[in-house]
């Protein structure tokens, strides 16, 4: 709607590219955020206030080949989740373009889309319908999903009776069951108990190995260094560095430490205890 | 998007499509996601029945109780003596409750699915369609107390009742247009939910539900003196619908004419207008849709 930026540029897509973004930008219009009431937006129309906008992402160019695993890191509010939402097709770019080659499955926030009143089984069927899967396909996948989630008799109980770990497990097995070409994961490696964490790690590694592209948002730097073959550091909606995971992670750690030191110095200058001012 | 992706390449660029492209897209989405609509309707049914003691029985009791309240209320304040008044207003209460539920639920249709919308790319247009369809089931349940009530007025039971599905179909089309519009608008203006309740109540009293439209200029001095009020009142979609329902269920507004066919010309005009409104609402909806995930 607010696409007044540069038009779509020329695409240079290689054969093996799963994801190509060019000059990608996503702009939020803060007039309509959750807290805005009709009164305020009316006042703004009447008073002709300039619209408040901000770029959650800007000038992001990323290329990801099939078989690659990209770790997206950065501080809170850097635009990591927005990037995943654009890649999943949930948001449209405000400027630039996104090209996706293959089926996408997203696990953005685990289990947030479940209907609390329905059972696990019904949620799987409903979820399949939301994803646009054929009913026959969903029903074929059903036993595998139930088995992998390992939630026993709870599969026929309403989701509201589930523990958060069970919810996460069910969400994970739904998203990975559809055998996507491109898997988008947002902070999923830290959910569930230790056993399931190992299991999900193994599954993600398996997916990466079987020539699937994975984009993973995480704060777990060890995972990025160990299992991703590329990493990108986002800050304030812009790419700071893209490259080998260890380099990107090192830069992120350095910058975080520098930011912290600067904040502490400022607090010390103001005469506050740095331990409080964190 | 997922659909496209499954068949290979998908490409999203900034900018908006033209209105006709949007319409074509929306029709395709609604048709290809019929099963999703069905699942959503079934889920809705299940939830409604589960959390109250009497469950689905309320769909039968609710219109009857509302009718009782109005019969008592109107008998006290009105001079006009309408023959078989309970049936006279029940013919309007039933469709009105349906529409009221559609609009109220439509306001929360998109907002209540915030979690999913931020997680999965799917055509959001299915949500208001599902809400309208789910409430149609409530209307069908309401036909049970209608037939129960008609047992007290056996001489009004005629083959004209078979027109009810035709009139309901026109109302369904009008309801879809309203639902699509309100579902999108409430995402941006959350106060709409509060306003709509009162606006609907006002609309109900301005519509010929508790009275007949041709009694308006006889009973109300202001209408008698200002002819245009009568003309405007006749343009109200619910003037058309209530009169049609009442014709086939109750008969003429004098209470003596037996049930007669509805005015097909006005129903046809309402149908055409409603189809146009669906197109308009769909364009509004599709224009707003890309912003849903950001605003929710």
Closest CA to B238 of B111, B36, B137, B98: B98
Closest CA to A102 of A67, A134, A145, A137: A67
CB A165 within 8 A of CB A189: no
CB B71 within 8 A of CB B89: yes
pLDDT band at residue B93, thresholds of 50, 70 and 90?
Answer: very high
- Compute the nearest-CA separation of A257 from chain B (Å): 31
* Interacting residues of A50 by C-beta distance below 8 A, sequence separation 6+: none
Cα distance between residue B183 and residue B117, in whole Å: 13
Cα distance between residue B61 and residue B274, in whole Å: 30
Neighbour count for residue A217 (Cβ, 10 Å): 21
List b or e across A64-93, with b for residues whose CB sees 16 or more CB atoms inside 10 angstroms: bbbebbbbbbbeeebbbbbbbbbbbbbbbb
pLDDT value of residue A269 = 82
Helix (H, G, I), strand (E, B) or coil at B24: helix
Helix (H, G, I), strand (E, B) or coil at B207: coil
The pLDDT tens digits for A198-228 are 887 787 777 767 657 888 888 888 888 888 8
ipTM of the complex: 0.77
Counting residues of chain B whose pLDDT is more than 90, the rounded percentage is 54
Do the Cβ atoms of A97 and B296 come within 8 Å? no
Q: Tell me the chain A residues in contact with residue B25 when contact means C-beta distances shorter than 8 Å.
A: none
Of the listed ranges A190-199, B82-91, B283-292, the least confidently predicted one is: A190-199
Contacts with B, A 235-274, CB within 8 Å = none
Do the Cβ atoms of B119 and A115 come within 8 Å? no
Q: What is the mean pLDDT of residues A185-196?
A: 70
**Minimum-distance CB partner of A32 among B47, B191, B295:** B295
pLDDT value of residue A106 = 66
Q: Tell me the chain B residues in contact with residue A26 when contact means C-beta distances shorter than 8 Å.
A: 294
Cα distance between residue B130 and residue B137, in whole Å: 11
The pLDDT tens digits for B245-287 are 999 999 998 888 999 999 999 999 999 999 999 999 999 999 9
DSSP 8-class letter at A52: P
Of the listed ranges A117-131, B151-165, B180-194, the least confidently predicted one is: A117-131
pLDDT at A7 over 50: no
Residues in chain A: 278
Cα distance between residue A175 and residue A53, in whole Å: 33
pLDDT at B70 over 90: yes
Do the Cβ atoms of A103 and B2 come within 8 Å? yes
Q: What is the mean pLDDT of residues B40-63?
A: 80
pLDDT value of residue A110 = 54
Kindly report the average pLDDT of chain A as a whole number.
Answer: 79
Of the listed ranges A56-70, A164-178, B201-215, the least confidently predicted one is: A164-178
DSSP notation for B153-196: GGGG--GGGGGHHHHHHHHHHHHHHHHHHHHHHHHH-TTHHHHH
pLDDT value of residue B9 = 65
The pLDDT tens digits for A8-52 are 333 344 457 888 888 888 888 776 665 555 566 666 666 666 667
A32 reaches B (C-beta below 8 A):
yes
pLDDT at B235 over 70: yes
């Amino acid at each position: 709607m607010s696409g007044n930026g540069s038009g779509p540029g020329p695409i240079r897509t290689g054969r093996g590219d799963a994801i190509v973004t060019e000059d990608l930008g996503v702009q939020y219009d803060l007039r309509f955020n959750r807290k805005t009431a009709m009164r305020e937006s009316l006042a703004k129309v009447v008073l002709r206030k300039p619209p408040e906008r901000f770029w959650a992402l800007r000038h992001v160019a990323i290329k990801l080949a099939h078989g690659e695993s990209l770790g997206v890191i950065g501080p809170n509010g850097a635009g990591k989740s927005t990037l995943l939402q654009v890649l999943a097709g949930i948001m449209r770019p405000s400027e630039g373009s996104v090209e996706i080659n293959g089926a996408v499955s997203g696990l953005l926030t685990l289990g947030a889309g479940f209907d609390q009143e329905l059972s696990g089984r019904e949620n799987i069927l409903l979820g399949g319908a939301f994803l646009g899967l054929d009913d026959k396909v969903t029903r074929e996948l059903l036993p595998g999903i139930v088995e992998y989630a390992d939630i026993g008799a709870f599969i026929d109980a309403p989701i509201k009776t589930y523990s958060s770990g069970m919810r996460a497990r069910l969400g994970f097995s739904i998203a990975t069951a559809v055998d996507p070409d491109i898997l988008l994961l947002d902070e999923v490696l830290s959910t569930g108990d230790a056993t399931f964490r190992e299991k999900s790690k193994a599954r993600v590694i398996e997916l990466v190995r079987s020539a699937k592209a994975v984009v993973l948002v995480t704060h777990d730097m060890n995972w990025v260094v160990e299992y991703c073959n590329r990493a990108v550091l986002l800050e304030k909606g812009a790419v700071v560095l893209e490259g080998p995971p260890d380099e990107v992670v090192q830069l992120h750690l350095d910058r975080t430490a520098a930011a912290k030191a600067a904040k502490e110095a400022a607090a010390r200058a103001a005469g506050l205890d740095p331990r409080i001012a964190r | 998007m997922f659909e496209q992706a499954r068949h290979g390449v998908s490409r999203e660029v900034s900018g908006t499509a033209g209105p006709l492209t949007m319409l074509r897209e929306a029709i395709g989405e609604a048709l290809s996601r019929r099963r999703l609509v069905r699942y959503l309707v079934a889920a809705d049914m299940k939830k409604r029945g589960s959390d109250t003691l009497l469950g689905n029985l309320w769909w039968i009791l609710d219109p009857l109780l509302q009718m009782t309240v109005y019969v008592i209320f109107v008998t006290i304040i009105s001079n006009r003596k309408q023959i078989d008044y309970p049936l006279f207003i029940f013919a309007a209460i039933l469709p009105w409750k349906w529409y009221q539920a559609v609009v109220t639920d439509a306001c929360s249709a998109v907002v209540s699915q915030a979690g999913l919308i931020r997680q999965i790319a799917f055509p959001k247009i299915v949500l208001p369609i599902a809400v309208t369809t789910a409430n149609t089931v409530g209307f069908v349940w309401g036909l049970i107390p209608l037939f129960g009530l008609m047992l007290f007025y056996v001489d009004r039971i005629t083959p004209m009742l078979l027109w009810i599905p035709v009139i309901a179909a026109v109302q369904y089309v009008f309801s879809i247009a309203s639902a699509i519009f309100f579902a999108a608008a409430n995402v941006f203006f959350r106060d709409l939910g509060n306003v709509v309740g009162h606006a609907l109540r006002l609309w109900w009293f301005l519509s010929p539900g508790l009275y007949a439209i041709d009694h308006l200029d006889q009973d109300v001095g202001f209408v008698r003196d200002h002819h245009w009020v009568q003309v405007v009142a006749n343009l109200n979609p619910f003037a058309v619908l209530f009169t049609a329902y009442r014709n086939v269920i109750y008969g003429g507004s004098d209470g003596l004419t037996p049930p007669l066919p509805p005015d097909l010309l006005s129903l046809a005009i309402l149908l055409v207008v409603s189809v146009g409104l669906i197109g308009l609402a769909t364009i509004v909806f599709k224009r707003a849709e890309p912003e849903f995930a950001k605003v929710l």
